[in-house]
Structure formats: C-alpha cells, structure tokens
C-alpha cells in the first residue's frame, strides 16, 4: 500500500517504548519530515525495522541511546526512480568487528552464540530479503565497542513498480509484536 513513513516509524517506535523504559534506553525518532508517502508492504517493512530495533536493544547496554532517522535523498547511481527514502538506525552498543561485519547478513550467522544473546541469526538475512523485495538496499557500518548504524534505502514514487505491486490494501493493519524480554 501507499503509507506515510513518518506515521509508520512513530508506530514502530511506540511499540518499543516499554522495552526502552525497562532498559533505560533513550529511543529517539529524528526527522525533518511531516509526511513521507511511499509504496511498501507494511508487514514486511515492519519486520525489517522491528528486527533492526530488536538487535539494537539486544546489543546496547542500559542507559544507551538508539536513534531512528528518516530522510529523502537522490540515488547515488542512476536508477528508475528520482528519489529514495533513507531509514537509519544507530545504537551506541557493543558494535561489530571488521572480522564479522561482512557475514552478519548470512543465514544463522551470529557473532556470539550464547544464552545471553538469544535468537537464531535469521533476522538480518530475512530483513535483507524483505528490503530487496522492495527494490531497496540495506547496509551496515560499525565502530567496535562504540556504535552501529544500519541503513535501509528504498525507492520513492512508483516508477519501479509493476501493476501487481501497486495494490491498495487499506485494510492492512500493523501486526502486534510479542513482548520482548531481552
Ligand atoms: P534473530 O534475529 O534471528 O533473533 P540474531 O539477532 O542473533 O537472531 P540477526 O538479527 O541476523 O540475528 O543478527 C546477526 C548477528 O549480527 C547478531 O547475532 C549480532 O552478533 C550481530 N548484530 C546485529 N545487530 C547488531 C547491533 N546492532 N550491534 C551489534 N551486533 C549486532
Ligand atoms: Mg535479530
């Protein structure tokens, strides 16, 4: 469907506020935009942002900061579309070492397999698939022991969509997340 990304991100942020409160983490949504309409599958993009935020919460200690940013930019390479949306999720947690960073989008890859860090290692592999289904890209940058930023870029407009991709699903509603207990 065609939705306002600002509303979307506000809703996702809100669903994490109890967890943020629990861990005394400052969860910030930072954007200059009032409205940014884009064609996307609500449930799939919700899973992407949900996973990125879950990771940020998992790997950031108490009293940390997690920031969600939204902006528009022009594509760096020549594309079917003139503008793209950029969602950035930055945490000031443990970071990812250069040795591991090229593998974290692989299925089942986890830097540390332990009871402290539950999960299967599928979150980022799935997120990447969902982003690519939207003709987008996902990237990561990190400074070990300091911070990590995941960047999701998706095309704006509808020049890249075929007719089946432009279904108007007004009835589509956000799914409720299970309560997280990291
Ligand atoms: P799942 O998402 O299936 O519950 P997971 O969170 O371990 O499990 P991914 O989301 O795919 O799996 O992440 C893979 C690995 O990448 C993580 O186990 C962790 O080592 C590393 N990682 C991901 N996000 C961060 C982050 N924000 N900070 C530090 N390390 C991260
Ligand atoms: Mg995960």
Q: Please tell me if the CB atom of residue 48 comes closer than 6 angstroms to any atom of ligand 1.
A: no
Q: Which pLDDT score, from 0 to 100, does residue 159 have? A: 87
Q: Please tell me if the CB atom of residue 110 comes closer than 6 angstroms to any atom of ligand 1.
A: yes
Q: What average pLDDT does this structure show over 83-91?
A: 97
To test ligand 1's pocket by mutation, which of 93, 110, 118, 139 has the most ligand atoms within 8 angstroms of CB?
110
170, two tokens: 């007004």
pLDDT at 170 over 60: no
* Average pLDDT of every residue of the chain: 91
pLDDT at 64 over 50: yes
**C-alpha triplet 88, 32, 25: angle, nearest 5°:** 50
Contact 86, 21 (CB under 8 A): no
**C-alpha triplet 172, 175, 180: angle, nearest 5°:** 165
Q: What average pLDDT does this structure show over 37-42?
A: 96
Closest approach atom of ligand 1 to CA 91: 27
124 Cα: distance to centroid of ligand 1 (angstroms)? 7
58 Cα: distance to centroid of ligand 2 (angstroms)? 8
pLDDT at 76 over 50: yes
Instruction: Give the three-class secondary structure for 176.
Output: coil
pLDDT at 173 over 50: no
Question: What contacts 22, CB < 8 A, 6 or more positions away?
Answer: none
Taking residue 88's Cβ as centre, other Cβ atoms within 10 Å add up to 18
The string of pLDDT tens digits covering residues 95-144 is 999 999 999 999 999 998 876 667 899 999 999 999 999 999 999 999 99
Q: pTM of the prediction? A: 0.91
Instruction: Find, among 95, 119, 96, 94, the residue nearest to 108 by Cα.
Output: 119
127 Cα: distance to centroid of ligand 2 (angstroms)? 9
């Amino acid at each position: 469907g065609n939705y306002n990304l600002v509303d979307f991100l506000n809703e996702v942020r809100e669903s994490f506020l109890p967890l943020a409160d629990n861990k005394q983490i400052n969860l910030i949504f930072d954007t200059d935009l009032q409205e940014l309409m884009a064609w996307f599958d609500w449930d799939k993009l919700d899973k992407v942002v949900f996973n990125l935020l879950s990771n940020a919460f998992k790997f950031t200690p108490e009293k940390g900061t997690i920031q969600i940013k939204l902006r528009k930019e022009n594509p760096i390479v020549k594309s079917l579309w003139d503008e793209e949306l950029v969602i950035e999720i930055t945490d000031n947690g443990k970071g990812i070492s250069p040795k591991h960073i090229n593998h974290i989008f692989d299925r089942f890859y986890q830097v540390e397999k332990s009871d402290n860090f539950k999960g299967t290692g599928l979150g980022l592999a799935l997120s990447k698939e969902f982003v690519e289904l939207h003709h987008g890209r996902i990237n990561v940058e990190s400074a070990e022991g300091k911070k990590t930023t995941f960047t999701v870029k998706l095309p704006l407009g509808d020049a890249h969509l075929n007719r089946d991709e432009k279904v108007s699903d007004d009835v589509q509603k956000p799914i409720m997340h299970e309560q997280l207990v990291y």
